[in-house]
Chains A and B, each alone.
Chain A
Amino acid sequence: MTTIDNDSAGKTAMALLTLQGVDKIYRQGELEVRALQEIDLTVQEGEFAALVGPSGSGKTTLLNIIGGLDAPSHGSIQLNGTSITTLKEAELSDFRLFQLGFVFQAYNLVPVLSALENVELVMVLQGRDVRERRERAEHYLELVGLEKVMQRRPAALSGGQQQRVAVARALAAGPRLVLADEPTANLDSENATALLDIMHRLSHEEKTTFIFSTHDRRVMERAERIITLRDGKIVSDKHIGQESHEQMA
């Protein structure tokens, strides 16, 4: 397992996530799309990192590959000590269940379940007992400020509230890493920054690592690290406000 890379010099913690030489090539008949090219990336425990870049630059593809939803064409991915490219389908599914949290752009929730039940669902699948999952679900819904609307179904929640339920669901399951693909894309800027503030706060309070993609400037400003993709390549990787971050870690 690889540890530190040059960017995080001075830190001795083991990396939570390491990508080495990751390529993703989509074939559509004769046509080949190189969605990702030779991606090397290391993310430490507790980071709050943004993945930015224009549409089509490969953000979704990268997040899907890190999340074990899609397989790379080449390269290796180590996540929390597991080489996920070697896992079988069913193992990957269980890996996602216990180690990862997901927040998508929209339609994150099961429509027939209330906010509370949606948050509980992943914990049900994890096999946690009724009491524990109920307590945790309520706790995390309070943390995202939704204690008053827990019994509502998604259709009765605003877009911003739905995204917050998704964040609560991701965190309540106790993941090592939360992946959020454009979580604010469908929100107005006020709701977008509010969601990011919640994610940022919880990332610190829960010591949970976040990687989220965005192309919204105001959202990017909340990040402690900005990884920029262009045409499937990482063209820049900057740590911002490193001081405060290192104090936390």
Chain B
Amino acid sequence: MNRRHSHLPLGMLVMLSWRNIWRHRRRTLITLSSIAIGFALAVLMIGLNDGAHNSMIRNAIKLGEGHLTVQPRGYIEAPANHKYLTDGTTLQEKIGSLDVAGRIEPRISLQILASTASNSVGAGLEGLSPQGDQRADLLRPQLVDGTWIEPGDQRGILIGDGMAGKLKAKIGSKVVLMAGKQGGDSQAQLGRVRGIFDSRVDELDDYLILSDIQLARRFLEGEGADPALQPITRFALFLDDPDSLPEWKAELKAAVENDQVVVLDWREMMPQLVQFIMVDDAGNYIFLVLILIMVVFGILNTVLMSVLERTREFGLLRALGISRYHLLWLVFCESLLLSLLAVGIGWIVAGAVHLWFASHGIDMAALMGGSTEMMGTFMDPVIYTELSGERVFQLTLLIFAATLGSGIYPAIKASRVTPVEALRT
């Protein structure tokens, strides 16, 4: 037999599908608007979530050890005062020669015991470099009592209000800073409280002691370091462009890494924070699932209803000689057009909502009752929605996948219609 097949040009396919989806104008509009509104809401919540997380990360990096950290190998696994970089001068020259676009801050971090006549508490002593320190910039405005330490101040320390309470220390109080040495002995330095800060992050207010780097370095000397070589615990690097992290990390690794020295990024330095955000992102997935359900049911309901209403028409088309396959495409194309419209309208609404909140922000501090601290970091009080290209892609893809999924069943159902049964009504 001369095999002549049925044809269905794309133009005809699209024209028929388009007209079919507008057969029930109201039903289609309700479906589209519910998908669009749900989508906009989801984009807003996801944007807010991403904005909050990114804010936490930015602040954690500022309060922490920078985007990139150069420190002794093995320190992160088991921090100890005797693990330090013996030759700070040479390392600083090497790092400096890379011309990193950003700030390089030498730091000394020590675990100590802080004691007054009233009490003793475990503390982290951080030596601030006179070259500048991000943490100083952040905490200086949070000073609630006394003055900031002057560069070269050999005794001055700054403590949080939490620690001040525990030690019953005031401005001018003497605090003994004691540290264990590697051999089992201990060493001590005398500090004097110059100022008290209140960062609103309890982890800092209860634990952190800031001093000039000179005071902190004396403990390293006690461990046997040569002060002439500017020994330090680490360098913290703050990049002007956080997106350039992978490139700088690679360059830095090539320049300084060896058996004693390691280069870590903020994710490696703060694995708990990374984990927290991952878990918290589950909130996002709830919204993703919500849109998914809306899209699936919206399209399934609309298209399936219209398929069931048109059984007779499909029977007619099949009798006239349209192929099963073309009928399947015809109905599938209706779902596809519907979802294209839904995504289009959805993005217009969602985009507008996002742009508004990206420039006006939402006062999270008010919503969360004042404190926005979490995981040793904090959220900016006003959060602006953030929407990465990756998210846009992900959300769009998700809706299309959902459409494909929900469009298949009605299409198959339509293609299974047998003319004889359909026409016998």
Contact = CB atoms under 8 A, between A and B. Distances in A.
A97 B1 contact: no
B322 interface: yes
Interface string A216-242: 000000000000000000000000000
A91 interface: yes
B320 A121 contact: yes
Contact of B7 (A96, A110, A125): A125
A94 B321 CA distance: 6
Contacts of A64: 420
B424 interface: yes
Contacts of B8: 124-125
A163 to B, nearest CB: 14
Contacts of A110: 16, 313, 316-317
Contacts of B289: none
B62 interface: no
B312 A69 contact: no
Interface residues of A, number: 31
Interface string A69-86: 110000000000010000
A192 B423 CA distance: 21
A112 B19 CA distance: 6
Interface stretch (A100-108, A137-145, A197-205): A100-108
A48 B77 CA distance: 96
Contact of B4 (A70, A89, A98): A98
Contact of B321 (A87, A108, A113, A125): A125
A91 B323 contact: no
Interface string B48-75: 0000000000000000000000000000
A104 B317 CA distance: 12
Contact of B3 (A67, A94, A113, A127): A94
B14 to A, nearest CB: 13
A90 interface: yes
A60 B424 contact: yes
Contacts of B424: 60
A205 to B, nearest CB: 23
Listed residue (B12, B313, B419) with the most chain A CB atoms within 10 angstroms of its CB: B419
Given A87-B1, A94-B323, 10 more contacts: A69-B423, A93-B6, A96-B319, A97-B320, A100-B321, A102-B320, A104-B316, A108-B316, A111-B313, A122-B321
Interface of A: 60, 64, 67, 69-70, 82, 87, 89-91, 93-98, 100, 102, 104, 107-108, 110-113, 121-122, 124-127
13 contacts: A69-B319, A69-B420, A87-B1, A90-B323, A94-B3, A94-B5, A94-B321, A102-B320, A104-B316, A110-B316, A125-B322, A126-B6, A127-B4
